[in-house]
Amino acid sequence: MTTMEETTAKPHIRQTQLLIDGQWRDAQSGKTFTTFDPSTEAPITEVAYAGPEDVDLAVAAARQAFDHGPWSRMDARDRGRIMYRLAELVEQNLEELAALETWDNGKPIRDSRAADLPLVVDCLRYYAGWADKIQGQTIPIRGDYFCYSRREPVGVCGQIIPWNFPLLMVAWKWGPALAMGCTIVMKPAEQTPLTCLRLGELALEAGVPPGVINILPGFGDTGAAIVRHRDVDKIAFTGSTETGRIIMREAAETLKRVTFELGGKSPNIVFADADLDAAIDGAEFGLFFNQGQCCCAGSRLFVERKVHAEFVKRVVEKAQSRQLGDPFHPETTQGPQVDEEQFRKIMDYIERGKRAGAECVTGGQRLGDRGWYIEPTVFDHVSDDMDIAREEIFGPVMSILPFDDLDEVVERGNQTMYGLAAAVWTRDAAKAHHVAHRLRAGTVWINCYDVFDAAAPFGGFKASGIGRELGEIALANYTEPKTVTMKLG
Protein backbone atom coordinates (compact mmCIF):
# COMPACT_ATOMS: atom_id res chain seq x y z
CA MET A 1 0.00 0.00 0.00
CA THR A 2 1.07 3.57 -0.59
CA THR A 3 1.16 6.36 1.92
CA MET A 4 -0.78 9.49 1.02
CA GLU A 5 2.39 11.17 -0.27
CA GLU A 6 3.54 8.27 -2.36
CA THR A 7 2.74 7.88 -6.02
CA THR A 8 2.03 4.33 -7.15
CA ALA A 9 4.69 2.67 -9.28
CA LYS A 10 3.86 1.72 -12.86
CA PRO A 11 3.29 -2.01 -13.23
CA HIS A 12 5.24 -4.39 -15.42
CA ILE A 13 3.36 -5.01 -18.70
CA ARG A 14 2.98 -8.72 -19.20
CA GLN A 15 0.78 -9.06 -22.28
CA THR A 16 0.64 -7.16 -25.58
CA GLN A 17 -0.17 -9.96 -28.05
CA LEU A 18 -3.44 -11.36 -29.36
CA LEU A 19 -5.09 -14.20 -27.45
CA ILE A 20 -6.32 -16.84 -29.91
CA ASP A 21 -7.19 -20.42 -28.97
CA GLY A 22 -5.33 -20.18 -25.67
CA GLN A 23 -2.10 -18.97 -27.35
CA TRP A 24 -0.48 -15.54 -27.30
CA ARG A 25 0.40 -14.57 -30.87
CA ASP A 26 1.52 -11.65 -32.99
CA ALA A 27 -0.89 -10.43 -35.64
CA GLN A 28 -0.58 -12.40 -38.92
CA SER A 29 0.33 -9.13 -40.64
CA GLY A 30 2.94 -8.35 -37.97
CA LYS A 31 1.24 -4.99 -37.40
CA THR A 32 1.18 -3.26 -34.04
CA PHE A 33 -0.20 -0.01 -32.67
CA THR A 34 0.84 2.23 -29.79
CA THR A 35 -1.14 2.76 -26.62
CA PHE A 36 -0.45 6.05 -24.85
CA ASP A 37 -0.43 7.44 -21.33
CA PRO A 38 -3.09 10.22 -21.44
CA SER A 39 -1.47 12.06 -18.51
CA THR A 40 1.85 12.59 -20.33
CA GLU A 41 0.97 11.76 -23.97
CA ALA A 42 3.98 9.40 -23.88
CA PRO A 43 3.77 5.97 -25.53
CA ILE A 44 3.33 3.09 -23.08
CA THR A 45 3.90 0.13 -25.36
CA GLU A 46 3.17 -1.45 -28.73
CA VAL A 47 0.23 -3.85 -28.94
CA ALA A 48 -0.54 -6.42 -31.67
CA TYR A 49 -3.12 -5.08 -34.14
CA ALA A 50 -5.60 -7.79 -35.16
CA GLY A 51 -6.53 -7.86 -38.85
CA PRO A 52 -9.19 -9.85 -40.71
CA GLU A 53 -6.98 -13.00 -40.83
CA ASP A 54 -6.68 -12.90 -37.05
CA VAL A 55 -10.45 -12.43 -36.75
CA ASP A 56 -10.89 -15.58 -38.89
CA LEU A 57 -8.56 -17.57 -36.63
CA ALA A 58 -10.16 -16.30 -33.42
CA VAL A 59 -13.71 -16.96 -34.63
CA ALA A 60 -12.70 -20.46 -35.80
CA ALA A 61 -11.22 -21.16 -32.34
CA ALA A 62 -14.34 -19.82 -30.60
CA ARG A 63 -16.57 -21.84 -32.96
CA GLN A 64 -14.61 -25.03 -32.31
CA ALA A 65 -14.63 -24.42 -28.53
CA PHE A 66 -18.38 -23.83 -28.63
CA ASP A 67 -19.39 -26.66 -30.98
CA HIS A 68 -16.98 -29.34 -29.76
CA GLY A 69 -15.15 -27.99 -26.75
CA PRO A 70 -15.85 -28.65 -23.13
CA TRP A 71 -17.19 -25.23 -22.16
CA SER A 72 -20.83 -25.28 -23.26
CA ARG A 73 -21.19 -28.94 -22.27
CA MET A 74 -19.20 -28.77 -19.07
CA ASP A 75 -20.97 -29.43 -15.80
CA ALA A 76 -22.32 -25.99 -14.96
CA ARG A 77 -20.88 -26.24 -11.44
CA ASP A 78 -17.39 -26.59 -12.90
CA ARG A 79 -17.95 -23.61 -15.16
CA GLY A 80 -19.04 -21.60 -12.13
CA ARG A 81 -16.00 -22.77 -10.18
CA ILE A 82 -13.63 -21.53 -12.91
CA MET A 83 -15.40 -18.17 -12.92
CA TYR A 84 -15.11 -17.89 -9.12
CA ARG A 85 -11.42 -18.66 -9.50
CA LEU A 86 -11.07 -15.84 -12.05
CA ALA A 87 -12.75 -13.40 -9.65
CA GLU A 88 -10.33 -14.53 -6.95
CA LEU A 89 -7.32 -14.00 -9.24
CA VAL A 90 -8.53 -10.48 -10.05
CA GLU A 91 -8.75 -9.78 -6.32
CA GLN A 92 -5.24 -11.16 -5.75
CA ASN A 93 -3.87 -8.97 -8.57
CA LEU A 94 -6.04 -5.96 -7.81
CA GLU A 95 -3.19 -3.48 -7.25
CA GLU A 96 -1.49 -4.41 -10.52
CA LEU A 97 -4.72 -4.27 -12.53
CA ALA A 98 -5.75 -0.95 -10.96
CA ALA A 99 -2.36 0.58 -11.80
CA LEU A 100 -2.46 -0.76 -15.35
CA GLU A 101 -5.97 0.70 -15.82
CA THR A 102 -4.86 4.08 -14.51
CA TRP A 103 -1.81 4.12 -16.76
CA ASP A 104 -3.67 3.24 -19.96
CA ASN A 105 -6.86 5.24 -19.34
CA GLY A 106 -5.74 8.15 -17.13
CA LYS A 107 -8.37 7.58 -14.43
CA PRO A 108 -7.31 8.37 -10.84
CA ILE A 109 -5.76 5.41 -9.05
CA ARG A 110 -8.19 5.88 -6.15
CA ASP A 111 -11.09 5.28 -8.58
CA SER A 112 -9.46 2.26 -10.24
CA ARG A 113 -8.88 0.75 -6.79
CA ALA A 114 -12.12 1.66 -5.07
CA ALA A 115 -14.65 1.70 -7.93
CA ASP A 116 -13.64 -0.14 -11.12
CA LEU A 117 -11.82 -3.15 -9.72
CA PRO A 118 -14.23 -4.04 -6.89
CA LEU A 119 -17.10 -3.85 -9.39
CA VAL A 120 -15.20 -6.18 -11.75
CA VAL A 121 -14.74 -8.75 -8.97
CA ASP A 122 -18.41 -8.50 -7.92
CA CYS A 123 -19.63 -8.89 -11.48
CA LEU A 124 -17.55 -12.01 -12.15
CA ARG A 125 -18.69 -13.56 -8.84
CA TYR A 126 -22.31 -12.65 -9.41
CA TYR A 127 -22.38 -14.42 -12.78
CA ALA A 128 -20.29 -17.34 -11.51
CA GLY A 129 -23.24 -17.93 -9.17
CA TRP A 130 -25.67 -18.04 -12.10
CA ALA A 131 -23.80 -20.74 -14.04
CA ASP A 132 -25.60 -23.64 -12.32
CA LYS A 133 -28.96 -21.89 -11.99
CA ILE A 134 -29.97 -21.72 -15.63
CA GLN A 135 -33.16 -23.73 -15.94
CA GLY A 136 -36.14 -24.13 -18.24
CA GLN A 137 -39.81 -24.81 -17.59
CA THR A 138 -42.27 -27.63 -18.12
CA ILE A 139 -45.14 -26.27 -20.20
CA PRO A 140 -48.68 -27.65 -20.07
CA ILE A 141 -49.91 -27.77 -23.70
CA ARG A 142 -53.08 -29.10 -25.29
CA GLY A 143 -53.05 -32.84 -26.02
CA ASP A 144 -51.04 -35.78 -24.70
CA TYR A 145 -47.57 -34.29 -24.85
CA PHE A 146 -44.64 -33.56 -22.63
CA CYS A 147 -43.41 -30.08 -23.45
CA TYR A 148 -40.48 -28.32 -21.86
CA SER A 149 -38.12 -25.45 -22.54
CA ARG A 150 -34.35 -25.28 -22.40
CA ARG A 151 -32.16 -22.20 -22.21
CA GLU A 152 -29.20 -22.89 -24.43
CA PRO A 153 -26.17 -20.65 -24.97
CA VAL A 154 -26.41 -18.42 -28.05
CA GLY A 155 -23.00 -19.50 -29.35
CA VAL A 156 -19.98 -17.45 -30.46
CA CYS A 157 -20.25 -13.89 -29.16
CA GLY A 158 -18.44 -10.90 -30.62
CA GLN A 159 -17.98 -8.33 -27.86
CA ILE A 160 -16.81 -4.80 -28.68
CA ILE A 161 -16.13 -2.36 -25.88
CA PRO A 162 -15.05 1.26 -25.28
CA TRP A 163 -12.24 2.85 -23.25
CA ASN A 164 -14.06 4.62 -20.40
CA PHE A 165 -14.29 1.63 -18.03
CA PRO A 166 -12.03 -0.80 -19.87
CA LEU A 167 -11.90 -3.70 -17.43
CA LEU A 168 -15.40 -3.23 -16.04
CA MET A 169 -16.84 -3.43 -19.56
CA VAL A 170 -14.96 -6.72 -20.01
CA ALA A 171 -16.54 -8.09 -16.83
CA TRP A 172 -20.05 -6.97 -17.84
CA LYS A 173 -19.60 -8.77 -21.17
CA TRP A 174 -17.76 -11.91 -20.08
CA GLY A 175 -19.84 -12.57 -16.94
CA PRO A 176 -23.20 -13.52 -18.48
CA ALA A 177 -21.61 -15.00 -21.64
CA LEU A 178 -19.38 -17.37 -19.66
CA ALA A 179 -22.12 -18.29 -17.19
CA MET A 180 -24.34 -19.36 -20.10
CA GLY A 181 -21.55 -21.40 -21.72
CA CYS A 182 -20.92 -19.12 -24.72
CA THR A 183 -17.52 -18.51 -26.29
CA ILE A 184 -16.08 -15.06 -26.90
CA VAL A 185 -14.19 -12.97 -29.43
CA MET A 186 -13.52 -9.65 -27.75
CA LYS A 187 -12.18 -6.39 -29.13
CA PRO A 188 -11.05 -3.87 -26.52
CA ALA A 189 -10.82 -0.17 -27.46
CA GLU A 190 -7.67 1.01 -29.22
CA GLN A 191 -6.96 3.47 -26.37
CA THR A 192 -7.09 0.89 -23.57
CA PRO A 193 -6.19 -2.69 -24.52
CA LEU A 194 -3.87 -3.54 -21.61
CA THR A 195 -6.11 -4.62 -18.74
CA CYS A 196 -8.25 -6.79 -21.01
CA LEU A 197 -5.13 -8.66 -22.15
CA ARG A 198 -4.00 -9.16 -18.56
CA LEU A 199 -7.47 -10.46 -17.65
CA GLY A 200 -7.16 -12.91 -20.55
CA GLU A 201 -3.99 -14.22 -18.97
CA LEU A 202 -5.74 -14.61 -15.61
CA ALA A 203 -8.65 -16.39 -17.32
CA LEU A 204 -6.28 -19.02 -18.70
CA GLU A 205 -4.71 -19.35 -15.25
CA ALA A 206 -8.19 -19.81 -13.75
CA GLY A 207 -8.79 -22.74 -16.10
CA VAL A 208 -10.91 -21.23 -18.89
CA PRO A 209 -10.24 -23.69 -21.76
CA PRO A 210 -8.46 -22.59 -24.98
CA GLY A 211 -10.74 -20.90 -27.54
CA VAL A 212 -13.40 -19.90 -25.02
CA ILE A 213 -12.02 -16.37 -24.66
CA ASN A 214 -10.17 -14.79 -27.59
CA ILE A 215 -8.92 -11.20 -27.43
CA LEU A 216 -8.22 -9.07 -30.50
CA PRO A 217 -6.91 -5.57 -29.84
CA GLY A 218 -7.30 -3.28 -32.83
CA PHE A 219 -9.30 -0.43 -34.32
CA GLY A 220 -12.78 -0.04 -35.82
CA ASP A 221 -11.87 -2.28 -38.78
CA THR A 222 -11.11 -5.16 -36.39
CA GLY A 223 -14.54 -4.67 -34.80
CA ALA A 224 -16.21 -4.47 -38.20
CA ALA A 225 -14.63 -7.79 -39.30
CA ILE A 226 -16.04 -9.47 -36.17
CA VAL A 227 -19.49 -7.98 -36.87
CA ARG A 228 -19.47 -9.23 -40.48
CA HIS A 229 -18.20 -12.74 -39.71
CA ARG A 230 -20.70 -15.49 -40.58
CA ASP A 231 -19.68 -17.75 -37.72
CA VAL A 232 -20.37 -15.16 -35.04
CA ASP A 233 -23.87 -15.62 -33.58
CA LYS A 234 -24.22 -12.49 -31.51
CA ILE A 235 -22.74 -9.03 -31.07
CA ALA A 236 -22.68 -7.15 -27.77
CA PHE A 237 -21.50 -3.57 -28.19
CA THR A 238 -20.89 -0.63 -25.87
CA GLY A 239 -19.88 2.71 -27.37
CA SER A 240 -21.27 5.57 -29.38
CA THR A 241 -24.79 5.64 -30.83
CA GLU A 242 -23.26 6.36 -34.23
CA THR A 243 -21.14 3.18 -34.24
CA GLY A 244 -24.12 1.27 -32.81
CA ARG A 245 -26.14 2.23 -35.89
CA ILE A 246 -23.38 1.04 -38.23
CA ILE A 247 -23.12 -2.28 -36.38
CA MET A 248 -26.88 -2.84 -36.45
CA ARG A 249 -26.92 -2.29 -40.20
CA GLU A 250 -23.98 -4.67 -40.74
CA ALA A 251 -25.41 -7.31 -38.41
CA ALA A 252 -28.67 -7.36 -40.39
CA GLU A 253 -26.84 -9.15 -43.21
CA THR A 254 -26.35 -12.30 -41.12
CA LEU A 255 -29.28 -11.66 -38.73
CA LYS A 256 -27.01 -11.70 -35.73
CA ARG A 257 -28.49 -11.09 -32.32
CA VAL A 258 -27.43 -7.65 -31.09
CA THR A 259 -27.40 -5.87 -27.76
CA PHE A 260 -26.26 -2.28 -27.43
CA GLU A 261 -25.30 0.06 -24.65
CA LEU A 262 -24.90 3.46 -26.27
CA GLY A 263 -24.81 7.14 -25.44
CA GLY A 264 -26.85 9.29 -23.10
CA LYS A 265 -27.82 12.81 -22.12
CA SER A 266 -29.23 12.05 -18.72
CA PRO A 267 -31.43 14.51 -16.80
CA ASN A 268 -30.43 15.04 -13.18
CA ILE A 269 -33.39 16.82 -11.56
CA VAL A 270 -33.02 18.77 -8.32
CA PHE A 271 -36.25 19.95 -6.67
CA ALA A 272 -36.19 22.81 -4.18
CA ASP A 273 -37.28 20.46 -1.37
CA ALA A 274 -34.20 18.23 -1.79
CA ASP A 275 -31.43 17.79 0.75
CA LEU A 276 -29.25 20.33 -1.05
CA ASP A 277 -25.96 19.16 0.44
CA ALA A 278 -26.59 15.66 -0.91
CA ALA A 279 -27.89 16.96 -4.25
CA ILE A 280 -24.81 19.13 -4.77
CA ASP A 281 -22.50 16.19 -3.98
CA GLY A 282 -24.56 14.02 -6.34
CA ALA A 283 -24.50 16.63 -9.11
CA GLU A 284 -20.72 16.91 -8.88
CA PHE A 285 -20.12 13.16 -8.70
CA GLY A 286 -22.79 12.35 -11.30
CA LEU A 287 -21.09 14.57 -13.87
CA PHE A 288 -17.39 14.81 -13.10
CA PHE A 289 -16.75 11.20 -12.04
CA ASN A 290 -14.39 9.49 -14.48
CA GLN A 291 -13.55 12.87 -16.08
CA GLY A 292 -17.15 13.06 -17.29
CA GLN A 293 -16.54 10.04 -19.52
CA CYS A 294 -19.67 8.16 -18.44
CA CYS A 295 -22.52 7.15 -20.72
CA CYS A 296 -24.90 7.85 -17.81
CA ALA A 297 -23.36 11.21 -16.77
CA GLY A 298 -25.93 13.63 -15.33
CA SER A 299 -25.18 16.05 -18.14
CA ARG A 300 -28.46 17.98 -18.06
CA LEU A 301 -28.71 19.31 -14.54
CA PHE A 302 -32.23 20.67 -14.04
CA VAL A 303 -32.42 22.86 -10.92
CA GLU A 304 -35.69 24.29 -9.58
CA ARG A 305 -35.53 28.08 -9.89
CA LYS A 306 -36.20 28.72 -6.17
CA VAL A 307 -32.82 27.21 -5.24
CA HIS A 308 -31.02 27.85 -8.50
CA ALA A 309 -28.76 30.75 -7.40
CA GLU A 310 -27.60 29.02 -4.20
CA PHE A 311 -27.15 25.72 -6.02
CA VAL A 312 -24.99 27.19 -8.76
CA LYS A 313 -22.75 29.01 -6.27
CA ARG A 314 -22.17 25.85 -4.24
CA VAL A 315 -21.76 23.43 -7.13
CA VAL A 316 -19.16 25.77 -8.64
CA GLU A 317 -17.21 25.70 -5.35
CA LYS A 318 -17.36 21.92 -5.49
CA ALA A 319 -16.13 21.84 -9.07
CA GLN A 320 -13.26 24.17 -8.19
CA SER A 321 -12.23 21.95 -5.30
CA ARG A 322 -11.55 18.95 -7.54
CA GLN A 323 -7.93 17.78 -7.47
CA LEU A 324 -6.60 17.62 -11.02
CA GLY A 325 -3.23 16.03 -11.58
CA ASP A 326 -1.14 12.91 -11.87
CA PRO A 327 -3.66 10.05 -11.83
CA PHE A 328 -1.14 7.94 -9.91
CA HIS A 329 -1.18 10.37 -6.99
CA PRO A 330 -3.55 9.03 -4.33
CA GLU A 331 -5.25 12.40 -3.75
CA THR A 332 -6.02 13.11 -7.41
CA THR A 333 -9.75 13.07 -8.11
CA GLN A 334 -9.62 14.09 -11.76
CA GLY A 335 -7.20 12.84 -14.39
CA PRO A 336 -6.82 13.67 -18.07
CA GLN A 337 -9.32 12.85 -20.83
CA VAL A 338 -8.46 9.62 -22.61
CA ASP A 339 -6.92 11.02 -25.80
CA GLU A 340 -6.46 14.03 -28.05
CA GLU A 341 -9.56 13.28 -30.10
CA GLN A 342 -11.80 13.31 -27.04
CA PHE A 343 -9.97 16.37 -25.68
CA ARG A 344 -10.57 18.31 -28.90
CA LYS A 345 -14.20 17.25 -29.12
CA ILE A 346 -14.87 18.47 -25.57
CA MET A 347 -13.01 21.79 -26.07
CA ASP A 348 -15.11 22.33 -29.20
CA TYR A 349 -18.33 21.81 -27.19
CA ILE A 350 -17.10 24.33 -24.63
CA GLU A 351 -16.61 26.90 -27.41
CA ARG A 352 -20.03 26.09 -28.86
CA GLY A 353 -21.61 26.58 -25.42
CA LYS A 354 -20.00 30.01 -25.09
CA ARG A 355 -21.00 31.03 -28.61
CA ALA A 356 -24.59 29.94 -28.03
CA GLY A 357 -24.81 32.30 -25.06
CA ALA A 358 -24.57 29.94 -22.10
CA GLU A 359 -22.67 31.41 -19.14
CA CYS A 360 -19.40 29.62 -18.39
CA VAL A 361 -19.20 30.16 -14.63
CA THR A 362 -16.04 28.17 -14.00
CA GLY A 363 -13.38 26.29 -15.97
CA GLY A 364 -13.50 26.13 -19.74
CA GLN A 365 -9.74 25.83 -20.28
CA ARG A 366 -7.10 23.21 -20.78
CA LEU A 367 -4.93 22.67 -17.71
CA GLY A 368 -1.19 22.70 -18.45
CA ASP A 369 0.26 21.79 -21.83
CA ARG A 370 1.08 18.12 -21.37
CA GLY A 371 -1.61 15.48 -20.89
CA TRP A 372 -5.25 15.92 -21.90
CA TYR A 373 -6.45 17.79 -18.81
CA ILE A 374 -9.58 19.94 -18.90
CA GLU A 375 -10.69 22.13 -16.00
CA PRO A 376 -14.00 21.15 -14.41
CA THR A 377 -16.39 23.35 -16.35
CA VAL A 378 -19.86 24.59 -15.40
CA PHE A 379 -22.28 26.33 -17.76
CA ASP A 380 -25.27 28.11 -16.27
CA HIS A 381 -28.42 29.35 -18.02
CA VAL A 382 -28.23 26.63 -20.63
CA SER A 383 -31.32 26.31 -22.80
CA ASP A 384 -32.73 23.07 -24.18
CA ASP A 385 -31.91 23.80 -27.81
CA MET A 386 -28.17 24.41 -27.33
CA ASP A 387 -25.77 21.70 -28.56
CA ILE A 388 -24.32 21.36 -25.05
CA ALA A 389 -27.81 20.43 -23.79
CA ARG A 390 -28.59 18.04 -26.64
CA GLU A 391 -25.43 16.16 -27.56
CA GLU A 392 -23.21 13.84 -25.57
CA ILE A 393 -20.07 15.79 -24.58
CA PHE A 394 -18.39 12.94 -22.67
CA GLY A 395 -16.23 15.30 -20.66
CA PRO A 396 -16.11 17.40 -17.46
CA VAL A 397 -18.71 19.91 -18.65
CA MET A 398 -21.83 20.53 -16.54
CA SER A 399 -24.89 22.23 -18.01
CA ILE A 400 -27.37 23.79 -15.59
CA LEU A 401 -30.94 24.34 -16.77
CA PRO A 402 -33.37 26.13 -14.42
CA PHE A 403 -37.00 24.91 -14.24
CA ASP A 404 -40.25 25.94 -12.52
CA ASP A 405 -42.57 22.97 -12.13
CA LEU A 406 -42.83 19.19 -12.15
CA ASP A 407 -44.72 18.59 -15.39
CA GLU A 408 -42.42 20.97 -17.21
CA VAL A 409 -39.25 19.26 -16.01
CA VAL A 410 -40.53 15.77 -16.82
CA GLU A 411 -41.38 16.86 -20.33
CA ARG A 412 -38.07 18.63 -20.86
CA GLY A 413 -36.19 15.72 -19.27
CA ASN A 414 -37.73 13.36 -21.81
CA GLN A 415 -37.05 15.64 -24.78
CA THR A 416 -34.00 13.78 -26.03
CA MET A 417 -33.29 10.89 -28.38
CA TYR A 418 -31.52 9.19 -25.44
CA GLY A 419 -32.93 7.34 -22.43
CA LEU A 420 -30.13 5.77 -20.46
CA ALA A 421 -30.36 7.18 -16.94
CA ALA A 422 -31.92 9.95 -14.85
CA ALA A 423 -31.94 11.12 -11.25
CA VAL A 424 -34.41 12.91 -8.99
CA TRP A 425 -33.56 14.75 -5.78
CA THR A 426 -36.43 15.53 -3.39
CA ARG A 427 -37.52 14.79 0.20
CA ASP A 428 -41.06 14.01 -1.05
CA ALA A 429 -41.07 10.25 -1.63
CA ALA A 430 -44.34 10.16 -3.58
CA LYS A 431 -43.14 12.92 -5.91
CA ALA A 432 -39.84 11.08 -6.40
CA HIS A 433 -41.57 7.89 -7.53
CA HIS A 434 -44.09 9.72 -9.75
CA VAL A 435 -41.25 11.43 -11.57
CA ALA A 436 -39.19 8.22 -11.70
CA HIS A 437 -42.09 6.42 -13.40
CA ARG A 438 -42.62 9.14 -15.99
CA LEU A 439 -38.99 9.51 -17.07
CA ARG A 440 -38.18 7.46 -20.18
CA ALA A 441 -34.87 6.03 -18.97
CA GLY A 442 -33.50 2.58 -18.18
CA THR A 443 -32.25 3.59 -14.73
CA VAL A 444 -33.59 6.24 -12.36
CA TRP A 445 -31.68 7.11 -9.21
CA ILE A 446 -33.53 8.81 -6.35
CA ASN A 447 -31.42 10.90 -3.98
CA CYS A 448 -28.27 9.20 -5.27
CA TYR A 449 -26.28 8.89 -8.50
CA ASP A 450 -24.19 6.23 -10.25
CA VAL A 451 -25.16 3.46 -7.86
CA PHE A 452 -24.15 0.28 -9.66
CA ASP A 453 -24.52 -3.31 -8.59
CA ALA A 454 -23.98 -6.51 -10.55
CA ALA A 455 -27.54 -7.57 -9.63
CA ALA A 456 -29.26 -4.39 -10.91
CA PRO A 457 -29.98 -4.21 -14.68
CA PHE A 458 -28.58 -1.29 -16.65
CA GLY A 459 -29.27 -0.12 -20.20
CA GLY A 460 -31.19 2.30 -22.32
CA PHE A 461 -34.55 3.30 -23.71
CA LYS A 462 -34.64 4.82 -27.21
CA ALA A 463 -31.27 5.56 -28.87
CA SER A 464 -29.37 4.65 -25.69
CA GLY A 465 -29.47 0.98 -26.49
CA ILE A 466 -31.14 -2.37 -26.93
CA GLY A 467 -31.31 -4.87 -24.09
CA ARG A 468 -29.98 -4.64 -20.55
CA GLU A 469 -26.69 -5.60 -18.96
CA LEU A 470 -26.17 -6.87 -15.40
CA GLY A 471 -28.69 -8.74 -13.29
CA GLU A 472 -30.51 -11.93 -14.21
CA ILE A 473 -31.98 -10.23 -17.27
CA ALA A 474 -28.57 -10.00 -19.01
CA LEU A 475 -28.40 -13.80 -19.21
CA ALA A 476 -31.19 -13.56 -21.81
CA ASN A 477 -28.75 -11.74 -24.13
CA TYR A 478 -26.67 -14.92 -24.26
CA THR A 479 -29.55 -17.42 -24.44
CA GLU A 480 -31.34 -19.20 -27.25
CA PRO A 481 -34.57 -20.59 -25.84
CA LYS A 482 -35.54 -24.04 -27.14
CA THR A 483 -38.90 -25.80 -26.88
CA VAL A 484 -38.91 -29.61 -26.82
CA THR A 485 -42.20 -31.48 -27.30
CA MET A 486 -42.66 -35.26 -27.03
CA LYS A 487 -45.80 -37.22 -27.84
CA LEU A 488 -46.90 -39.36 -24.91
CA GLY A 489 -48.68 -42.64 -25.49
Q: Supply the residues annotated as catalytic.
A: 261, 295
Residue 77: CB atoms within 10 A of its CB come to 9
Q: What are phi and psi of 287, to 5 degrees?
A: -110, -45
Enter the DSSP assignment of 447. Answer: S
Report the distance separating Cα 467 and Cα 80, nearest Å: 24
Amino acid at 244: G
DSSP secondary structure letter of residue 93: T
Size of the site for ligand NAP (CB under 6 A): 27
Q: How far lies 439's CA from each of 95, 299, 369, 411, 450, in Å? A: 39, 15, 41, 8, 17
Give 242 or 411: the residue with its C-beta nearer to ligand NAP. Answer: 242
**Biggest CA-to-CA distance, the chain:** 81
- Of Mg ion, ligand NAP, none, which one sits near residue 259, judging by CB under 5 to 8 A according to partner kind? none
**Residue 345 or 390 with smaller CB distance to ligand NAP:** 345
Q: Which residue is nearest to ligand NAP (CB)?
A: 223
Alpha helix (H) residue ranges in 182-238: 194-206, 220-228
CB of 306 to ligand NAP, least distance (A): 33
For the CB of residue 296, give the shortest distance to ligand NAP in the complex, in Å.
8
Q: Minimal distance in Å, beta carbon 428 to ligand NAP? A: 32
- Cβ contacts of residue 289 below 8 Å, gap of 6+? 111, 297, 450
Query: Nearest Cα to 164, choosing from 263, 89, 260, 258?
Result: 263
Contact call for residue 185 and ligand NAP (CB under 6 A): no
Stretch that binds ligand NAP, among 219-227, 315-323, 377-385, 468-476 (CB under 6 A): 219-227
223 binds ligand NAP (CB under 6 A): yes
For residues 260 and 311, which CB has a smaller minimum distance to ligand NAP in the complex?
260
Choices 146-154, 156-164, 324-332, 375-383; region in contact with ligand NAP by CB under 6 A: 156-164
User: Pick from 398, 410, 283: which is nearest to 350 by CA?
Assistant: 398
Where does this chain touch ligand NAP (CB under 6 A) — which range of 91-99, 256-264, 360-368, 370-378?
256-264
Which residue of 108, 153, 162, 166 would you call a contact of ligand NAP, by CB under 6 A? Answer: 162
Q: Are 139 and 130 in contact (CB under 8 A)?
A: no
Q: Which residues bind ligand NAP (CB under 6 A)?
A: 160-164, 187, 189-190, 219-220, 223-224, 227, 238-240, 243, 246-247, 261-263, 295, 342, 345, 392, 394
